[in-house]
Amino acid sequence: MDQIPVTGLKRVGPRLAERLHKLGIETVADLLFHLPARYQDRSRLRPLGALRDGDEALVEGIVADAQIGYGRRRSLKVWLRDEAGGGLMLRFFHFSRAQMEAMRPGRRLRCFGEVRQGPQTLEMVHPEVQQRPDHDDDGAQDGTAVDVPLTPIYPSTEGMQQISWRGLTDQALALLAVHPQSLADLVPAAIAAPLGLPALHEALQTVHRPPADAAVQALVERTHPACLRLAFDEMLAHQLALRRLRRERRHLTAVPLGGDGALRRRLMERLPFALTGAQQRVVDEIARDMAGIQPMMRLLQGDVGSGKTVVAALAALQAVECGRQVALMAPTELLAEQHLKSLAGWLTPLGIDVAWLSGRHKGAERAAILADLAAGTARVVVGTHALFQADVQFAELGLVVIDEQHRFGVHQRMALREKGVEQGRLPHQLIMTATPIPRSLAMAVYADLDLSVIDELPPGRTPITTAAVPDTRRDEVIERVRRACAAGRQAYWVCTLVEESEALQAQAAEDAAADLRERLGGLRIGLVHGRVKAGEREPIMAAFAAGELDLLVATTVIEVGVDVPNASLMIIENPERLGLAQLHQLRGRVGRGRVESYCLLLYHPPLTAAARERLDILRRETSGFAIADADLKMRGAGEVLGTRQAGMAAFRLADPLRDKDLVRAAQRGADRLLEDESRSGIDRVTALIHRWLGNRDDYGRV
């Protein structure tokens, strides 16, 4: 199977082969391991009255009314009722006279589709519709409902329909049934057998084509033994890749950066606060790593406001004490500017100038910065992705600090690291994130990194009271802002869009700012969003930080890095559109002083069950780690990690939280396989990594 190209299958010509190539599918084996992302459950009818926004459901009812509506777009609207009195609207923007005839009042229809909240009631837009055979006219209209328990839905690409995926996997499964020995089970029986899970071939057959008697819920929730067998193989491949990376790093060397501690002691004497116990513990861990001859690869996690930047500053001074350069890279100009401000405030009095490099530096100004970096006169530089561009050269880069590393792709991070290679020796790396990752997930995904956690907030941080408020009470919220600013405090008003979108019913930041200026006359109001040029945004942010503005209207560009202790009130419009981690990050912009702070979540009703649960969690929890655990339970590992971004370890079936027993078994199995490989010389490891990760096994090479 690993040797049979997909072009050997029926109906796979050059164009289809190119589309499959985009997804990394070259062979029949690749096709077998291209697993369904989800299933459509058509095994049971749902009462119309039990439907909720976001459900994907099979329903049946009688047409109560049908008419053409002439709004912004012409549409056919069909009202469906069932025997229990429930109702649902079917909406069709593209329809024929025959379809209109088939959906006359009195007809019984069976429909499958996604339920959405429409302007008046719940709707299905262009569902698959089938007339019930107990009526005069039968036959399918607008598609045919599929009468099988579970229909697999595959990850796809442009130009690939689900019917094509099912046809291709049918062929691959038929070949597997005839020649089962042609697909090697790469997991030794001694590792797989104790788990009591099905054989690889059986698991693939079940997951691709669930039998009629399959446990539907277990397959949907990925807890079926067939899913768990494949999840174990996938987790094992990830663990092997991470262990191989860690093993390879043992052969890499770095310049030991112990330092004499002089600069660090001077900074500590000048700081207006003492480090927390957690900060000091992490500082010591980093100092030990940097003094070693192997390159440090440490992931620093810390909740919003836990004080990661000062830890990075102390690490930077340790490198400077040894005559080395330091580069700190952040994903946005705003966050980079905040780091620049903090580091300059601490390091400039020590005689260390902090350079700044971003995409807006051009011409002679940029050339001067690059010359200072190449000559080594710039000891510390803060920047964005501009730092890893080809013309940026360092004299002696000793430490790379990367903030919010998941926003950078692997190749970007590696490009910056390679700039510090000196006679085969690599720079040390410190990777920081303010998005706490549950330990169970960190063990599974970042097993090649050493982990440091700042799990203690500095004293003086005030608790933030969080409340969810429907946007029908917008006037009350605006009055709350007026009172807070009149009392000498400052406030944020965060919108989720720059431009108006009726579909999302979200207030645009620009419109919100205009409205608030009109209704809050006398208040000094600023506006920032991603389309405001950095050169124009910086003075606005500086004015807000200096207390020259009362209210800052912004999009989520202020998610990280903004520190204004006098800001005690945050309004987040349409919070139902954001994830838990992002909401927690935004909330962390207030409560940074000693005044009681509030975060109001101004939502648009009605909320989906998932959105309501998210907002409830945010109201109850203040710990970023507790929120991360809740986020992981709700969304799964792939979504929490942001695996769609370049360079992340994307799981297909495995879920490190749900499958934590499998994680432990995979860790033991990986150790055993690597030991067997070194003893026997038989390389199953490379094949297993390639099967599940393809060419992505370098995702840990940061």
Task: For 16-49, write each residue's pLDDT tens digit.
Answer: 999 999 888 999 999 999 999 888 877 778 899 9
In this prediction, residue 161 has a pLDDT band, given cuts at 50, 70 and 90, of confident
CA–CA dist 299, 250 (Å, integer): 17
> For the whole model, what pTM was predicted?
0.67
Task: Domain 464-621: give its CATH code.
Answer: 3.40.50.300
Higher pLDDT pick, 313 / 414: 313
pLDDT of 376 reads 93
pLDDT of 647 reads 35
pLDDT of 136 reads 41
pLDDT of 185 reads 93
| Percent of the chain whose predicted confidence (pLDDT) is above 70 | 87
Domain boundaries in the chain?
A: 6-40+150-221, 43-141, 255-454, 464-621
Q: Which of 346-360, 405-419, 557-571 has the lowest mean pLDDT?
A: 405-419
CA–CA dist 298, 451 (Å, integer): 6
Higher pLDDT pick, 20 / 631: 20
Nearest partner of 282 among 314, 257, 249, judged by Cα: 314
Higher pLDDT pick, 389 / 531: 389
pLDDT of 646 reads 33
What are the residues whose beta carbons fall under 8 Å from the beta carbon of 674, sequence distance 6 or more? 240, 243, 244, 247, 685
| Domain 43-141 grouped into CATH 2.40.50.140 | yes
pLDDT of 138 reads 39
pLDDT of 450 reads 84
Q: How far is CA 594 from the centre of its chain?
A: 32
pLDDT at position 649 over 60:
no
Instruction: For residue 41, give the amino acid letter.
Output: D
Kindly state the tokens that stand for 2.
Answer: 């690993």
pLDDT of 107 reads 92
Higher pLDDT pick, 612 / 418: 612
Q: Read off the pLDDT of each residue in 170-175 and give the average, rounded to a whole number.
A: 95
Q: Read off the pLDDT of each residue in 392-408 and give the average, rounded to a whole number.
A: 82
In this prediction, residue 635 has a pLDDT band, given cuts at 50, 70 and 90, of low
pLDDT tens for 453-487 read 888 877 767 778 999 999 999 999 999 999 999 99
pLDDT of 345 reads 94
pLDDT of 697 reads 42
pLDDT of 160 reads 83
Kindly state the tokens that stand for 604.
Answer: 């648009």
> Average pLDDT, whole number, for the chain?
84
Tokens 């009055």 map to which residue? 479
Q: Which of 143-147, 419-423, 657-661, 672-676 has the lowest mean pLDDT?
A: 143-147
pLDDT at position 377 over 80:
yes
In this prediction, residue 428 has a pLDDT band, given cuts at 50, 70 and 90, of very high
In this prediction, residue 176 has a pLDDT band, given cuts at 50, 70 and 90, of very high
Q: What is the DSSP string of 281-331?
A: HHHHHHHHHHTSSSPPEEEEEE-TTS-HHHHHHHHHHHHHHTT-EEEEE-S
Range with top average pLDDT, 308-317, 530-539, 653-662: 308-317
CATH topology of domain 255-454: Rossmann fold (3.40.50)
pLDDT of 27 reads 93
pLDDT of 143 reads 35
Nearest partner of 434 among 402, 412, 399, 410, judged by Cα: 402
pLDDT tens for 206-221 read 999 998 888 888 888 8
pLDDT of 288 reads 97
User: With contact defined as beta carbons under 8 Å apart, do 447 and 246 qualify?
Assistant: yes
pLDDT at position 186 over 90:
yes
pLDDT of 414 reads 63
Cα–Cα distances in angstroms (integers) from residue 601 to residues 477, 578, 598, 604, 627, in the given order: 10, 11, 10, 10, 16
pLDDT at position 145 over 60:
no
pLDDT at position 560 over 60:
no
Work out the burial of residue 522: count CB atoms within 10 Å of its CB; fewer than 13 is exposed, 13-18 middle, 19 or more buried. Answer: exposed
In this prediction, residue 648 has a pLDDT band, given cuts at 50, 70 and 90, of very low
Q: Read off the pLDDT of each residue in 400-426 and give the average, rounded to a whole number.
A: 70
- Backbone phi, psi, residue 92, to 5°: -130, 120
Tokens 């057998």 map to which residue? 193
In this prediction, residue 561 has a pLDDT band, given cuts at 50, 70 and 90, of low
In this prediction, residue 700 has a pLDDT band, given cuts at 50, 70 and 90, of very low
Which SS3 state, helix, strand or coil, does residue 393 take? coil
Would the CATH topology of 255-454 be identical to that of 464-621? yes
Higher pLDDT pick, 304 / 684: 684
pLDDT tens for 80-93 read 999 888 999 999 98
